[in-house]
Amino acid sequence: MPDVVNVAEQTEVITTPYQRDPGKRCQIWELPPDKQDDARHFYISKGAYRPELEEYPFDEKSKHRRRFQKDWYTNFWWLEYSTHTDSAYCLPCFLFSKKPVARCGSDTFSVKGFRNWKKVNDGKACAFLTHVGGPDSAHNYSVRCYEDLKTSVAHIDKAMEKRNEKVESNARLRLKTTIDAMRWLIFQACSFRGHDESAGSKNHGNFLEMVKILASYNKDVAGVVLENAPGNAKYTSGEVQKEIVGILALEVQKAIREEIGNAKFCIMVDEARDESKKEQMAVVLRFANKEAEIIERFLDLVHVNDTAALTLKNAICTVLSDNNLNVQDIRGQAYDGASNMRGEWNGLKALILRECPYAYYIHCMARQLQLALVAASREVHEAEGKTK
């Protein structure tokens, strides 16, 4: 039997060209032939339209003052009611009746609607029972067509659901393989992509070669990756790699933030140009964990437009804010000895100190050692020019 529409569904916004109310909808035989089955599938999936009102309107034109009764839904599963026309309809007959013939009353339950309520509770002459008729009646023919189509739709839906589950399972395994390969390469600080990833290349780069190795040890993986993956969901493109790396980076930053907790911290910053001549700034945090161990964590690597002190300071504040860290919790800052970093008035050190007076500056020890070695080597002619 079809599903019964509930009261809540009456307020639902139906985004479909098909009207649910039987008094408003277009007849099936009026639709183009290629749209008729679509309409039947829609109405079968929704079930009979059966609004349950607190009170149904009386038929004011009739002297008997009768009205529709919601109890009729129980005895006649095919019954529908239109609040628009205050009439009863038959769902199977609406779906499978042909264009009405001239015979009087043949389209009452499919087109015009029935509202002669006096004839419903009339024993064997009940209008609903008369409409149902015998085994070969037009109504029962429509019911058989309804059940056949409903069964076929259920089979199709079940097959599609099973196929979708398989597609989803394959996609999950494919994505897991991609993530596993990328995590290993990141942990080993290896590059991902090769200079030639074409089909004829002998070396497709670390990432693709790692995926091949994983596939060679697992038939399930081999069946869903690389050439066995759909063209629109291979999960191996550069864009996908960058997105996954970004997600993994966020997870690492989240773990670092949890490790810091409420502790104060120091910042260590340095900048340099990459191969594309863009300035990059590395941000490292130094703090004491809950076991009172001194920990250093690489937090982020960000591109900056220039190396001006204010630019670097704003970038540092953004990195800390993105990781829910407060500038006021800085207790130390360590940079190299460049003027933009250690300048007494407008250097990065001074700008940070204005916001956090406890962020004491320390000239990078490694940089100091290097400067000492350079100065000492100047006194040794054999080493002059060999130390930078």
pLDDT in tens, 273-303: 877 788 888 999 999 988 889 999 999 999 9
pLDDT of residue 273: 82
pLDDT of residue 167: 85
Flag whether 244 is in a domain: no
Enclosing domain of residue 291: 260-377
Flag whether 148 is in a domain: no
Which residues, listed in sequence order, are joined to residue 287 by a DSSP beta bridge?
265, 295
> Are 12 and 46 within one domain?
yes
> Are 270 and 210 within one domain?
no
What mean pLDDT do residues 166-175 have? 89
Q: pLDDT tens, 324-339?
A: 999 999 998 888 767 6
CATH code of the domain in which 339 resides: 3.30.420
Flag whether 138 is in a domain: no
Integer Cα distance of 356 and 200 in angstroms: 58
Q: Is the pLDDT of residue 41 over 90?
A: no
> Are 176 and 59 within one domain?
no
Q: Is the pLDDT of residue 16 over 60?
A: no
pLDDT of residue 232: 84
**Total domains in the fold of the chain:** 3
pLDDT of residue 379: 74
Please, which residues have CB within 8 angstroms of residue 179's CB and are 6 or more apart in sequence?
244, 248
> Of 3-7, 245-249, 375-379, where does the model show the most confidence?
245-249
What mean pLDDT do residues 167-176 have? 90
pLDDT of residue 9: 41
Give the alpha-carbon dihedral of 116, 120, 125, 128, to 10 degrees. 100
Flag whether 159 is in a domain: no
pLDDT of residue 147: 87
Integer Cα distance of 159 and 59 in angstroms: 48
> Are 278 and 206 within one domain?
no
> Are 287 and 189 within one domain?
no
> Are 197 and 123 within one domain?
no
> Are 286 and 364 within one domain?
yes
- Joined together, the tokens standing for residue 323 give 């990781």
Model confidence at 158, pLDDT cuts 50, 70, 90, reads low
Q: Is the pLDDT of residue 12 over 50?
A: no
Q: Is the pLDDT of residue 388 over 70?
A: no
Helix H or strand E segment including 279: strand 279-288
> Are 291 and 360 within one domain?
yes
Give the type of residue at 107.
D
- C-alpha 37: how far from chain center: 32
Among 87, 21, 83, 12, smallest CA distance to 49 is for: 21
> Are 103 and 169 within one domain?
no
Q: Specify whether the CB–CB gap between 328 and 357 falls below 8 A.
A: no
Q: pLDDT tens, 116-157?
A: 888 888 777 899 999 998 888 889 888 888 888 888 766 666
Model confidence at 231, pLDDT cuts 50, 70, 90, reads confident
